[in-house]
Amino acid sequence: MKSLFDLTGRTILVTGGSRGIGFAMGAALARHGATVVLNGRNEAKLEDKARELRAEGLEAETAVFDVNNEAAARSAMDKIVNKHGHLFGLINNAGIQHRSPILAFTTADFERVVSTNLTSCFTLSREAIALMSEHGSGRIINTVSMLGSQARPTVPAYIAAKEGLRALTRALAVEAGPKGILVNAIAPGYIATEMNNALITDKKFSDWIVSKTPLQRWGEPHELGGGAIYLMSEAGAFVNGHVLAIDGGMSVQV
């Protein structure tokens, strides 16, 4: 009896896949049978991480492109389809952060964050939906954030983009659903990743995060893997337009 969580035969592109949450999701998917294609901008780093998974006997490939480059992204997806016959899944995980008091936050910085964290998710999803529609099936997961409906100072672009990505998830879910494509989101809490190093090493801030999280700790990247497996598997075959919080309960604590 095939497990509900068996991803064998499913090829899944993970953007921002060379480290942190993206690599953790990719590794989890590969360990459940998927062929993962890790995306990033640094070819050497990507190859190292894909080699790490292949050393476990897993199916891992790389696709080097900047998610802001539509043509490069579409070309990478076409290559996946030409090699594997189907792009089953896309995880729009690539994201950047910029922290600054609002009065010093430039328009260029705001637009840069929104471009990577929101606009690129739209363009990659549109291209993926075009390819997935030919098969009548597919899955998209957007990495959003606990931040959005809740906020903290100095990260306005990130909050706006990630909340917009929640809304985009719902918009795509209703339009792609009739094509057999499910679109969902995962909302991490505060996870111990490179992007958050500055926060983790700031004892005052880190203590505050721990106090605001019912599990009283930072999350670990590997703790995002199960959610990705669920939403990419048969177990998630009727889940569409959902935002899965993986935040230790932080989003429900006052």
Catalytic residues: 158
Among residues 25, 23, 18, 21, the alpha carbon closest in space to that of 232 is found at 25
Confirm or reject binding of residue 189 to ligand GCO (CB under 6 A). yes
Confirm or reject binding of residue 45 to ligand GCO (CB under 6 A). no
The per-residue DSSP string of 112-129 comes to HHHIIIIIHHHHHHHHHH
Confirm or reject binding of residue 99 to ligand GCO (CB under 6 A). yes
Considering only residues 10 through 29, tell me which ones interact with ligand GCO, judged by CB under 6 A. none
Confirm or reject binding of residue 117 to ligand GCO (CB under 6 A). no
Min CB(199)–ligand GCO separation in Å: 6
Among 23, 88, 190, 230, contact with ligand GCO (rule: CB under 6 A): 190
Say if CB 141 and CB 184 are below 8 A apart. yes
Q: Which helix (H) or strand (E) holds 52?
A: helix 43-54
Among residues 39, 140, 130, the alpha carbon closest in space to that of 88 is found at 140
Per the listing, tokens 């590997």 go with 222
Among 110, 158, 218, 230, contact with ligand GCO (rule: CB under 6 A): 158
Confirm or reject binding of residue 118 to ligand GCO (CB under 6 A). no
Among 37, 146, 181, 224, contact with ligand GCO (rule: CB under 6 A): 146
Say which DSSP state 171 is in.
H
Q: Report the alpha-carbon distance of residue 72 to residue 94 in Å, rounded.
A: 15
Confirm or reject binding of residue 98 to ligand GCO (CB under 6 A). no
For ligand GCO, the closer of residues 96 and 171 by Cβ is 96
For ligand GCO, the closer of residues 60 and 113 by Cβ is 113
Among residues 9, 24, 10, the alpha carbon closest in space to that of 227 is found at 24
List of residues contacting ligand GCO (CB under 6 A): 97, 99, 145-147, 152, 155, 158, 188-190, 195-196, 199
